[in-house]
Each structure stands twice: as structure tokens, then as C-alpha cells.
Amino acid sequence: MGRIVGGLGSPHAPSIGALIDKGAWDDPDWKPLMDGYRPMQAWLARTKPDAAILVYNDHVTSFFFDLYPTFALSVAAEHAIADEGFGPRPLPPIPGNAEFAWHVAHSLVDDEFDITVCQDMPLDHGALTPASALWPDRSQGWPCPILPIAVNVLQFPVPSPRRLFRLGQALARAVESFGDDGFRVVVLGTGGLSHQLHGERFGYQNHPWDMEFLDLLENDPERLTSLRLQDYIDRGGAEGSEVIMWLAMRGALPAKVRRLHRNYHAPLHTGFAQVLFEVP
């Protein structure tokens, strides 16, 4: 049977990807954030997971508002680097694991998650930023296949925080029922903490809420699931509500986790955080 060995949380802002492509890991304005990836990179290098499930949102790249699924899972053997208007990032295509992905797809549908199954799903910065930050050494190609799950956090109706947590629990059941004995999986939740990029509250941040969210995510995630999406918007800004995707990562883990790393930095108009939870 498969086993989830850890969960990671990361922002997915395109500005981080641009720094990586320039090799600007030591940019003084961003160094406190970029250094936050170092312990996560080292842990992944030691752990060598067989696959990573990455929960992210597509930014109107593979999907558009006339056809935007609530949950979309890719079963592709390889994921192209999407062109978001400035040409694709200089990254090799990201490998998938079709056998594992099809198993997860069947398991989620059996678990009453009616997902959209995609056999071709190019990845944009929502997935590429955390992937390129967590696995910076691609000299031998990507070291870990990725199973991307795109979540609609852009166009209403948006799934509830509780639904994302339940998705994580369903992912845990899917991994545990995978037939490959000793197959080790990590789950990644992505998105920025408090931020709003439009309207009267443009530039809004709420650092106390960001700290409360991180504390509850670790110690009492069920309390986070009791909040409405509107509560996340009120406290963390309209775009800051995308942090519900971290609940899918946390829901895939047991109630008690070992926090190995936590970092927070807010250099511009977004609260950026990184966490690393290990399953005891």
C-alpha cells in the first residue's frame, strides 16, 4: 500500500518563478523567503518521494471561464510548460505517473468526488513556481513525478474550505489503497496567504490572520474547516482565500504531525509562507 510521508505548503506567485529563472536566490528583498525553501529542498532530497500530489489553481491557462472545472486531475505521463503570454519558462516538461494518477482518479470518483480527468494539462505558475522552488536541481530532469490537481478558486461557486479538507482525506485513502507496496507520496498545498489584487482593498494584508491560519493549520485544522469562504475573504482578502488549497494538503495528513519548518515573509502585497509537516 502507498503511504503519505509529508505535506508541504508554498506560495505560487509568478514573481518567485522569475527570481528562480534569473538565479536570484540571494536577492536581498527576497532572500528571507527564498532561504525558506532550503530546509524543504533538503528534506525532499533525503526523503526521495515516489510521487507528489500538487494542489494548485490554474490561472486561466489550461481552463477558461466558459469551462472551468471545480476539480481537475491530470493523468498525463508528462506535463507541458504553459505559455502564459511571455513564452514558456525554461523548464523541462514535468513527468507524471499515469498508473498512480488513474488509480487516484478512480478512487476519488468512488469517494464521491466528481472530478474532471485530463489527459493533457499544461501547467502554469500555480504549479510551476512551487515545483521549481522545491526541486531546484533539474540537471538530471525532475527527480519526482507530479500529480497535479487544479482547484477552482477563481470563479464562483468555489468549493468550501471543508470540501478541500475532505478532498485531502480522500486523497489519503487513495494513496493508501494504491497497490505498490512502499510507495511514498508527499502532498503540496499552494497559494498565497493574505492578499487582494483588485478593487478597493487592493494591497490588503492581514499578518495576524496569517499567523492564526498557520497555527490552526498545524494544530487544529478542523477549526479552519468551520469557517465559510466569505470568512477567508474578509480576513485574508479576495485572492487570499485561495489558501483553502492548503487544507487539502492538511486533510491528507493525520491529526498529529511533526512540524519541521515554518517561514513567513511579506515583501510586497502578499503574505508568503512555507511549511513542512512530516508524518510521525
List residues with catalytic annotation. 125, 195
Question: Of 186, 265, 266, 199, which is closest to residue 237 (Cα–Cα)?
Answer: 199
Other CB atoms within 10 A of residue 183 CB: 17
Render 234-262 in DSSP notation, one character per residue: HHH-TGGGGGGHHHHHHHTS-SS-EEEEE
Pairwise CA distance, residues 233 & 223, whole Å? 16
Element (H, E) at 151: strand 146-151
Pairwise CA distance, residues 139 & 37, whole Å? 18
Work out the burial of residue 84: count CB atoms within 10 Å of its CB; fewer than 13 is exposed, 13-18 middle, 19 or more buried.
middle
Contact 126, 139 (CB under 8 A): no
Render 12-71 in DSSP notation, one character per residue: --HHHHHHHHHT-TT-TTTHHHHGGGHHHHHHHHHH--SEEEEEE---SSS-BTTB--SE
Contact 59, 124 (CB under 8 A): yes
